[in-house]
Amino acid sequence: MKEVSRTNTFYNRSLERALQILCAFNTERQIFKLGELAHILDLPKATVSRLCSTLVKYDFLKYDLQWKQYGLGLKLFHLGSIIYASLSLRRAASPHLFRLQSKLGKTVFLGVLQEDELVYIDKKENPRNPILFGSQIGTRRPPHFGMLGQVLMAHLKDSEVETFLEKHPLKKFTRRSITSHEVLIKRLQKIREQGFHLDREEALDGITGVAAPIRDYTNGVIGAVGIGFISSSEDSKGVEKIIKEVLRTAKAISQDLGYFDRKISRV
């Protein structure tokens, strides 16, 4: 028997036509009559009717008997919810966090703002590191705490920032911690502009951190990824490398969550 080439493409005309029917629907046109679908696909009504009947049977389409028109079925909503669930932040981020930790050998954190606090939702570390960070998965900190907190706050509305600071006033964690409201506001603006935050021993003595925001398909910031390391372990060149890798990781996670960089120029 002749072996089928792996490069061969198996083609199903009926399946293609069924998919074309589903793709005809959009936010501007949510219902169609049989004749309209037949016109769009340039097919006989009888052919489109058979395809639609099958799609209705499996709940990909619904049919309004009174108005004799088709709409999308709940099966698509169900499948969409599965995709959405699979794109949860921690699940999407996990492989990228592992790669970042393995590449740099530093402790990696993933955090979100939840109920006006910074919450660590993932952490990857090398047990052979000379220092183990106390923040574990589930640990809560003030929203302005460290690299992750300030990156997340930088992308809030001004009114939200004010509310957070009223509930969690600035306090000194180290001698380098920001305690001035005005200085913090300027810091948050800088973080938004440069796309990352370099925390030099403001949260923990002797520890430097680098963090960047994670965005989803809405272009909104939903989390932050960061790396913590002993300040004396890296020179300026090493810190630049860490910033580059954190930014690359944040971008990769964001893209997996459906983020599209609108700054990319059109060809």
Please give the order of strands across the beta sheet that includes 117-124.
140-141, 117-124, 107-114, 221-230, 207-215, 197-200
Q: How does pLDDT run across 29-82, given as a tens digit for each residue? A: 999 999 999 999 999 999 999 999 999 999 999 999 999 999 999 999 878 766
Per-residue pLDDT, averaged over 236-264, amounts to 89
Quick one: pLDDT band at residue 9, thresholds 50, 70, 90? low
| Structural tokens at position 159 | 């009114």
Quick one: pLDDT band at residue 265, thresholds 50, 70, 90? very low
Mean pLDDT rounded to a whole number for the chain: 88
pTM of the predicted model as reported, rounded to 2 decimal places = 0.66
Per-residue pLDDT, averaged over 156-183, amounts to 92
Percent of the chain clearing pLDDT 70 (strictly above): 89
Strands (E) in the chain, as ranges, are 61-64, 69-72, 107-114, 117-124, 140-141, 197-200, 207-215, 221-230
Q: Which domains does the chain carry? A: 13-82 (1.10.10.10), 87-256 (3.30.450.40)
Question: Is 199:212 a contact under the CB 8 Å cutoff?
Answer: no
Per-residue pLDDT, averaged over 89-109, amounts to 93
For residue 99, pLDDT over 50 is answered with yes
